[in-house]
Structure 1
């Protein structure tokens, strides 16, 4: 149930319940002060309800007796008339008394169980006295009295006495208790509604506040579990998702910091090794270790190669940094892939033949397939992959083979070699920056350790995937995908995926 509906129901309850209590209170006050119970009695007393329409109300009978006292007072001395009138009053739970000169000359049989003489008010000669009450033996009565003088100057009182209903008696007897109970009921109702709203709104908000304080202190190792399916439950879900993502972000940040430190350490190692070698060879030349021109030329060649390796390493680190920060521009265009790879193979054949390594297609028929790529970046991927294979290959019988497979949206390029393979535990780390499967970090075999990381970044920017499979002693297979383009499409716009 939503909070809006809960609040609406709460407001309705806070309006209706006090109205009901106030109505009950007004009714009880009416009973207690005025004794007006006829309407209630008409609903409770079914026997009376069936006959009430056939009898006159005691007010009408009382009015009739008053008229008779003025015009035909002799009627009030007729016992048969008084008995008939009294029966009519009895049907309304009332009885008739006639008093003359302080003596009762007629007493209704309906009132026989009670003695009224000492409770009746004295003759005052002031006309009608209405709606007064008195108590006899814990029973309450209403009475109406009309005083007048007859022709003989006798003091006559016409008195109609009516039982007060049990409801009225309870209202009178327990009036204060009823009021206290009603006030207590209102307090309890408000308290229950407040407690319910507190549990459904304030308590979850307090939990979110505590969770916020924990996050503020840097504690993200907890979970916010929503217990309700309302707006606060949705807020808790969003808060939990935020906490989870923040935790992941901090973990990534910690990992980045760890990688940065490792990167600095690895760069320092990779640069220190050639620098120390260069320093040693220069010192050898200065101290005359290389005396002959041939030795000096050999030393200079080694120094040149070391400087060249350092330049290549710095260049690759610079490119990797720009790729990592997504600052390297990409120029995508429409490229016919088979011919593009054919050109790369031809470019590498002569250089690899000198090393005793062959390169070519593996069961690949000539086909026309168009992809979207950056020519220069894709060439760097292929060169990095192939030269990485060459470093870990037996130069006497090395072979590198390429082939392509096609799906509805992508082309997969597969590059296989017959080198010594990669350890299984090293495969998950192949594309990490400055990682070498050769943990000795021998630059003569392991290279800079950043070439495959660059390849991974470039393929990712092309919207493809790159992965490696290898078996120790049987070679390595590297595969990557490129987005395919239909031949009918024009040149692809220069944008990044």
Structure 2
């Protein structure tokens, strides 16, 4: 049985069962207080009209029929009229055109009593009828009798009806059926609304779970209600979104892994091919002199060293990518640290004929939390990448620093060939080389800047590049400045 059908049946039971219990209770009370169910009709009439017709018939039967003289006994008729007035009923007795007795109220309504039916047959009693006089409704009961001397007499009991009671009395079946119809319609509409407000979100969740089971996550759960089902829909949508992101990330990792394997295979194949070629040359006797043999051996050693560096960089990148590389952070005065590094760098660059230009804004003291060895590796990778692509006769590298809004910014630039603006955001991707740099002369693993990016990310910093084709490239490193100097003081500047 579906949930929808269960809701419909439960709501129907909530309507039908109380109604049945109400009817059963009413019947039971009728039996207890009135003796049988048949008296329900008389009880209903008595409640709305003030006098039971059976009591009226018994009164006429045991008084006027057995004692016809009472029809002309004014004293008895006055007492009888007084009793009837307590039940909102007046008496009118007529013999032909002669009025034998009339309640005081009726004497004021000659038009009303003139319209009363004529005598028909002695001993007859007629079904009471209702008539309207002015704006009032009356119930008229007629009894045709004979006096002691045999004269025909018509006795009328006129009961004034309350307008509301008369309306309810007249239209009670219609009102009851209308109330029942309204109740049923209201119940059906509310049931339909409530079931839809519950069933629709459940159907939407069922559709969503089926799509997830089929492996389709490219959809949205559309549940806009604010109740528990709406909260469930929001939670399901978050779960779907996170699952989709996780799968996409996993797919990206898989694509990156395949790309990495492809690039590693390509980069390892080049030195291995060279080593095999030189080994074959030695084995085949091509290196037939000590000088040539030494040259071959040195080339093999260089290629083996190149492979060793590539493998080391792959291991390092892998650890950084999986966030398993341990950093040993310490707060250092960044300007003395860079000054020592620049002094060592200047000596190396002079050997290669490269000019080093340094501009450091060291008017203020700045402390930065870094891993010394890892940060030096970042600086070295940037310098090596700049040297690898320099094509100008006068080679130059610039190092600039500045402090800005609680951040330390280091800029390392060169006057190399530069790269296109479209390629600048991708130079920190592993194995990425701009198109104009794809040649066999540059060498390198293609992981230097990718490793630099991972290390700076591990430091909570930012690294990016700006370049202009033909003018050179500048790499920016942004790190947060630590507030206050460390307790060990500013003398710890050993790099």
Alignment of 1:13-412 (within 5 A): 33-36=43-46, 77=72, 79=74, 94-96=89-91, 106=101, 109=106, 113-115=115-117, 134-136=127-129, 141=139, 160-163=157-160, 177-362=174-359, 364-365=361-362, 368-394=365-391, 396-412=393-409
Indicate the SS of the match to 2:220. Answer: coil
Q: Tell me, yes or no, if the aligned pair for 2:360 and 2:401 is still in contact at 8 Å.
A: no
Deviations 1:81-102 (A, max 9, x none): 95898699689763215699xx
Q: Tell me, yes or no, if the aligned pair for 1:437 and 1:446 is still in contact at 8 Å.
A: no
Distance 1:111 1:250, change over 3 A: farther
Q: CA RMSD in A?
A: 4.4
Residue 432 (structure 1) shift? 1.1
Distance (Å, rounded) in 1 between the aligned partners of 2:445 and 2:290? 32
Deviations 1:298-336 (A, max 9, x none): 111111111111111100100110111111111111111
Deviations 1:67-123 (A, max 9, x none): xx9xxx9998565995898699689763215699xxx95466565534496799889
Distance (Å, rounded) in 1 between the aligned partners of 2:359 and 2:169? 109
Q: Tell me, yes or no, if the aligned pair for 1:94 and 1:161 is still in contact at 8 Å.
A: yes
Distance 1:371 1:171, change over 3 A: same
Indicate the SS of the match to 2:348. Answer: helix
Aligned pairs, how many? 428
TM norm structure 2: 0.72
Indicate the SS of the match to 2:286. Answer: coil
Deviations 1:42-76 (A, max 9, x none): xxxxxxxxxxxxxxx999xx9xx99xx9xxx9998
Q: Tell me, yes or no, if the aligned pair for 2:419 and 2:469 is still in contact at 8 Å.
A: yes
Q: Tell me, yes or no, if the aligned pair for 1:31 and 1:37 is still in contact at 8 Å.
A: no
Distance 1:99 1:114, change over 3 A: closer
1:445 matches 2:442 = yes
478, 481, 489: which one aligns with 2:478: 481
Distance 1:161 1:205, change over 3 A: same
Deviations 1:276-307 (A, max 9, x none): 00000011111111111111111111111111
Distance (Å, rounded) in 2 between the aligned partners of 1:226 and 1:325? 38
1:427 matches 2:424 = yes
Residue 254 (structure 1) shift? 1.8
Distance (Å, rounded) in 2 between the aligned partners of 1:214 and 1:192? 32
Distance (Å, rounded) in 1 between the aligned partners of 2:70 and 2:128? 31
Q: Which moved more, 1:226-235 or 1:378-387?
A: 226-235
Distance 1:88 1:456, change over 3 A: same
Q: Which moved more, 1:367-376 or 1:480-489?
A: 480-489
Indicate the SS of the match to 1:403. Answer: strand
Distance (Å, rounded) in 2 between the aligned partners of 1:114 and 1:30? 30
Residue 389 (structure 1) shift? 0.6
Gaps of 5+ in 2: 1-10, 27-38, 107-111, 133-137, 490-495
Distance (Å, rounded) in 1 between the aligned partners of 2:40 and 2:397? 107
Q: Tell me, yes or no, if the aligned pair for 2:335 and 2:362 is still in contact at 8 Å.
A: no
Distance (Å, rounded) in 2 between the aligned partners of 1:482 and 1:300? 45
Deviations 1:452-494 (A, max 9, x none): 11111111111111100101110000001112123434479xx
